[in-house]
Amino acid sequence: MSSTASGKTSGANGTWRNWGGNVAARPARQVAPASVEELAAAVRRAREDGLKVKAVGTGHSFTSIAATDGVLIRPQLLTGIRRIDREAMTVTVESGTPLKRLNAALAREGLSLTNMGDIMEQTVSGATSTGTHGTGRESASIAAQIKGLELVTADGSVLCCSAQENPEVFTAARTGLGALGVVTAITFAVEPLFLLTAREEPMPLERVLAEFDQLWAENEHFEFYWFPHTENTTIKRNNRSLGSERPVGRLAGWFEDEFLSNGVFQVAQWVGRAAPATVPAIARISSRALSARSYTDIPYKVFTSPRRVRFVEMEYAVPRAALVETVRELKAMVERSNLRVGFPVEVRTAPADDITLSTASGRDSAYVAVHMYRGTPYQAYFTAAERIFTAHEGRPHWGKVHTRDAEYLARVYPRFAEFTALRDRLDPDRLFQNDYLRRVLGA
Instruction: List Cα–Cα distances, 168 to 162, 171, 432, in angstroms.
Output: 9, 5, 19
Rounded distance between C-alpha atoms, residue 410 and residue 422, angstroms: 15
pLDDT band at 429, cuts 50/70/90? very high
| pLDDT above 70 (res 4) | no
C-alpha torsion sign, points 112, 63, 266, 135: positive
pLDDT band at 254 (very low <50, low <70, confident <90, very high): very low
The predicted structure's pLDDT at residue 21:
87
Report the alpha-carbon distance of residue 313 to residue 87 in Å, rounded.
Answer: 40
Higher-confidence residue: 62 or 246?
62
DSSP strand pairing (395-396 vs 195-204):
unpaired
CA angle 203, 206, 211 (to 5 degrees): 80
pLDDT in tens, 145-192: 999 999 999 999 999 999 999 999 999 999 999 999 999 999 999 999
Answering whether pTM is above 0.85, one says yes
Percentage of the chain beyond pLDDT 90 is: 79
**173 alpha-carbon distance from chain centroid:** 16
Confidence class for position 259, pLDDT limits 50, 70, 90: very low
Q: CA 345, CA 366: separation in Å to the nearest integer?
A: 13
Rg (CA), the chain: 21
Cα distance between residue 305 and residue 297, in whole Å: 13
Report the alpha-carbon distance of residue 80 to residue 93 in Å, rounded: 6
In 11-145, beta strands by DSSP E: 15-17, 24-25, 29-31, 53-55, 71-73, 81-85, 90-94, 111-112
- Which of 159, 166, 207, 211 has the alpha carbon at shortest distance from 185? 159
Query: Among 29-38, 152-161, 259-268, 394-403, where is mean pLDDT lowest?
Result: 259-268
Beta carbons within 10 angstroms of residue 270's beta carbon: 14
pLDDT digit string, tens, across residues 204-235: 999 999 999 999 999 999 999 999 999 999 99
pLDDT digits (tens, 9 = 90+) for 408-423: 999 999 999 999 999 9
- E strand or H helix that includes residue 316: strand 311-319
HSE value, Cβ hemisphere, 13 Å, CA-based, for 16: 29
- Residue range 347-373: average pLDDT? 97
225 forms beta bridges with 234, 346
Pair 419, 354: CB distance under 8 Å? no
- DSSP letters for 128-154: HHTT-----SS---SGGGEEEEEEE-T
Q: Average model confidence (pLDDT) for the chain? A: 91
| Phi then psi dihedrals of residue 205, to 5 deg | -55, -45
Local structure of 104: helix, strand or coil: helix
